[in-house]
């Protein structure tokens, strides 16, 4: 970066939303775009091979390495908070699970002040961004940059899990990203031709070929540069050299739900008392910056298998080498899937309007770090509530941009969260006791047959619950007169010109399921708002809501 850097748009972060922005903002050759990214290349099998996804999120080369403060309601445990530090951002280190979210999630956003972000408004953007392979006709995109596929479902455990759900009285859904999310069915993934189809592969690489997009990696962005109330660029450090990268039109923070609020606070926008205590000049007292932090938690309910058909047979070094060779040289085999090929979304109780529990089924008993959880064959379901009431925060540790922020989710701080998790485990046991699973279930490994009473289940949850790595909400979108809002419904930082935030930090409330899809959608829709284009025409399609939801749990 020895030469002066200037463009119409400066995007901080080459993650899910940032890559989508780069693609859409550069469609007009008159627009110039610079994308700044701390991380480096995503080249190589550790990222591009779907089955290897647990590896990059545990490597400092690709992950920011954040951890929570001791969580007071989880016995003081400090949980990992992986965030992608690589082109593609977290879409390059995530599990590749593709979930749009439920229609009522987005209607709730609108009710919370995110005008123009209801389901009828966002559905056309989900369609625009997708090429769906096997999705429900009329509800899915067919020519977008993001390929969405399904696994082969060859392992009989995938079908058995779905059939067990149906036997337990739940509906079957042909496409949880289509008209009806509720039910059991095949899970979708951002994989194309056996390769991780990250935001970098789908959006950024094609955008870079246009000539009006420049990607600069290895950059530390320290704060936003202002002239009065207008953002004019960002202050950066690269290779020991300081430089202001200037934006002629807009600075767009797409740096994640952790780093976007961090940059705003370093720039003097945030809770005034906190900033003053660190010696940071206050530009705007906005208490919502860094607040409203949300996430999904999950536990693994694990079973020993009666039959030697699980992936535990492939967790040894020789099998992994063979899987890698098959993927690299032939583009085939187990390496081409994230192994999450069936799933479910259900409601926890009568009176819950739409699903609030998600299942990922995995035909292995294994931890997220890739180590075996059982000495023999086993399988597991990842389960957790979707709409926790607990809220946390991201706060600066000091005025030094190089210091990691303080991250406290305040997990399980609301009694209802404990009730919902107990329900998750008990409903799981009922499903796994259905006839379809009888040929496969030998015994429950975890929580274990002895964990029956509330106290025993709570102990298991406290000691074993893990983040699903879906942080969001820390720069909440809302009405301009909402003191807790950070950005308006056009993604503009309230009170400033030329500054927007576009990533999962703007979610007013966490969506049902994994967050990569809605994060990309945010980038897609924000691009039209930034360019002053008419939004895509609102949809009049009506999603399916269980007609008996007020009186029946299933």
Helical H runs in 119-255? Answer: 119-129, 156-167, 199, 205-208
Q: Are strands 499-501 and 393-395 parallel, antiparallel or unpaired?
A: unpaired
pLDDT tens-digit profile of 530-541? 999 999 999 999
Displacement of CA 442 from its chain's centroid (Å): 34
Provide the percentage of residues in the chain whose pLDDT is more than 90: 95
Q: Are the CB atoms for 513 and 386 separated by under 8 Å?
A: yes
pLDDT tens-digit profile of 422-450? 999 999 999 999 999 999 999 999 999 99
pLDDT classification of 165: cutoffs 50, 70, 90: very high
The yes-or-no verdict on residue 400 having pLDDT over 80 is yes
Q: Are the CB atoms for 332 and 308 separated by under 8 Å?
A: no
Q: Are the CB atoms for 102 and 354 separated by under 8 Å?
A: yes
Percent of residues in the chain assigned helix, strand, coil, to nearest 5? 30, 25, 45
pLDDT classification of 264: cutoffs 50, 70, 90: very high
Q: 102, 314, 470, 490: which one is catalytic?
A: 470
Based on its alpha-carbon atoms, the radius of gyration of the chain, rounded to whole angstroms, reads: 23
Element (H, E) at 261: helix 256-266
Range(s) of the domain holding residue 329: 152-186+297-385+413-464
Annotated binding residue at 165? no
| Residue 393 belongs to a domain | no
| Residue 308 belongs to a domain | yes
What are the DSSP calls for 354-413, one per residue? Answer: S--EEEEEESS-B-TTS-BSSSS-EEEEEEEES-----BEEE-SSS-TTSPPEEE--TT-
Q: Are the CB atoms for 99 and 130 separated by under 8 Å?
A: no
pLDDT tens-digit profile of 325-349? 999 999 999 999 999 999 999 999 9
Q: Which two tokens stand for residue 224?
A: 């936003």
| Residue 360 belongs to a domain | yes
The yes-or-no verdict on residue 215 having pLDDT over 60 is yes
| Residue 60 belongs to a domain | no
In angstroms, rounded to a whole number, what is the distance separating the alpha carbons of residues 531 and 547? 41
Listed range (35-39, 295-299, 324-328, 512-516) with the worst mean pLDDT: 324-328
When the pLDDT of each residue in the chain is averaged and rounded to a whole number, the result is: 96
Q: Is 32 helix (H, G, I), strand (E, B) or coil?
A: coil
The yes-or-no verdict on residue 370 having pLDDT over 70 is no
pLDDT at 374: 63
| Residue 417 belongs to a domain | yes
Annotated binding residue at 94? yes
pLDDT tens-digit profile of 283-306? 999 999 999 999 999 999 999 999
In angstroms, rounded to a whole number, what is the distance separating the alpha carbons of residues 260 and 491? 13
Torsion of CA 268, 274, 278, 282, to 10 degrees: 30
pLDDT at 375: 67
Annotated binding residue at 95? yes
Annotated binding residue at 301? no
Annotated binding residue at 232? no
pLDDT classification of 373: cutoffs 50, 70, 90: low
pLDDT at 366: 83
pLDDT tens-digit profile of 449-486? 999 999 999 999 999 999 999 999 999 999 999 999 99
Q: Which two tokens stand for residue 274?
A: 């906190």
pLDDT classification of 2: cutoffs 50, 70, 90: low
Mean pLDDT of 232-244: 96
Annotated binding residue at 221? yes
The yes-or-no verdict on residue 71 having pLDDT over 60 is yes
Q: Are the CB atoms for 250 and 498 separated by under 8 Å?
A: yes
DSSP bridge pairs for 284: 269
Q: Are the CB atoms for 197 and 140 separated by under 8 Å?
A: no
pLDDT at 314: 87
Q: Are strands 406-408 and 393-395 parallel, antiparallel or unpaired?
A: antiparallel
Catalytic site includes residue 470: yes
Length of the chain (residues): 554
pLDDT classification of 315: cutoffs 50, 70, 90: confident
Number of domains in the chain: 1
Contacts with 284 (C-beta within 8 Å, 6 or more apart), sequence order: 268, 269, 270, 494, 495, 496
CATH number, domain with residue 378 = 3.30.410.40
DSSP bridge pairs for 342: 186, 361
| Residue 100 belongs to a domain | no
pLDDT at 369: 57
Task: Give φ, ψ of 347 to 5 degrees.
Answer: -100, 145
């Amino acid at each position: 970066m020895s030469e002066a850097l200037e463009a119409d748009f400066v995007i901080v972060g080459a993650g899910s939303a940032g890559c989508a922005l780069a693609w859409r903002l550069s469609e007009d050759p008159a627009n110039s775009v610079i994308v700044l990214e701390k991380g480096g290349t995503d080249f190589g099998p550790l990222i591009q091979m779907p089955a290897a996804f647990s590896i990059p999120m545990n490597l400092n080369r690709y992950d920011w390495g954040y951890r929570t403060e001791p969580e007071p309601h989880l016995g003081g445990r400090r949980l990992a908070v992986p965030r992608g530090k690589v082109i593609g951002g977290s879409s390059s280190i995530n599990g590749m699970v593709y979930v749009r979210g439920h229609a009522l999630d987005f209607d709730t956003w609108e009710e919370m002040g995110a005008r123009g972000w209801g389901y009828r408004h966002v559905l056309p953007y989900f369609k625009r961004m997708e090429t769906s392979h096997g999705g429900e006709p009329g509800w899915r995109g067919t020519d977008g940059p993001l390929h969405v596929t399904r696994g082969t479902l060859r392992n009989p455990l995938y079908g058995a899990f779905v059939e067990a759900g149906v036997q337990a009285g739940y509906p079957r859904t042909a496409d949880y990203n289509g008209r009806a999310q509720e039910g059991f069915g095949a899970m979708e993934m951002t994989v194309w031709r056996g390769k991780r189809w990250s935001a970098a592969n789908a959006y950024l690489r094609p955008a870079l070929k246009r000539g009006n997009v420049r990607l600069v990696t290895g950059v530390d962005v320290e704060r936003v540069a202002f002239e009065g109330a207008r953002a004019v660029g960002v202050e950066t450090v690269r290779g020991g050299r300081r430089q202001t990268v200037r934006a002629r039109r807009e600075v767009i923070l797409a740096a994640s739900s952790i780093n976007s609020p961090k940059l705003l606070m370093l720039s003097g926008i945030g809770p005034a008392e906190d900033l003053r205590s660190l010696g940071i000049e206050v530009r705007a007292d906005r208490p919502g910056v860094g607040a409203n932090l949300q996430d999904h938690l999950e536990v693994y309910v694990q079973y020993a298998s009666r039959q030697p058909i699980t992936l535990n047979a492939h967790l040894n070094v020789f099998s992994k080498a063979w899987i890698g060779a098959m993927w690299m040289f032939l583009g085939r085999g187990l390496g081409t899937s994230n192994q999450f090929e069936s799933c479910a979304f259900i409601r926890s109780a009568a009176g819950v309007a739409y699903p609030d529990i998600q299942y990922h089924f995995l035909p292995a008993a294994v931890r997220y770090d890739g180590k075996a959880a059982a000495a023999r064959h086993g399988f597991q379901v990842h389960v957790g509530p979707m709409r926790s009431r607990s809220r946390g925060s991201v706060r600066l540790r000091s005025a030094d941009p190089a210091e990691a922020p303080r991250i406290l989710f305040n997990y399980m701080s609301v009694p209802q969260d404990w009730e919902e998790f107990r329900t998750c485990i008990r409903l799981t046991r009922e499903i796994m006791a259905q006839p379809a699973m009888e040929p496969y279930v030998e015994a429950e490994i975890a929580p274990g047959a002895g964990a029956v009473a509330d106290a025993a289940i709570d102990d298991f949850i406290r000691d074993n619950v893990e983040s699903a790595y879906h942080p969001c909400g820390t720069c909440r979108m809302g009405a301009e007169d909402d003191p807790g809002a950070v950005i308006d419904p056009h993604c503009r930082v309230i009170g400033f010109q030329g500054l927007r935030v576009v990533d999962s930090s703007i979610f007013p409330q966490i969506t049902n399921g994994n967050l990569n899809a809605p994060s990309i959608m945010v980038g897609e829709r924000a691009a039209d708002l930034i360019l002053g284009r008419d939004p895509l025409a609102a949809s009049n399609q009506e999603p399916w809501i269980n007609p008996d939801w007020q009186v029946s749990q299933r």
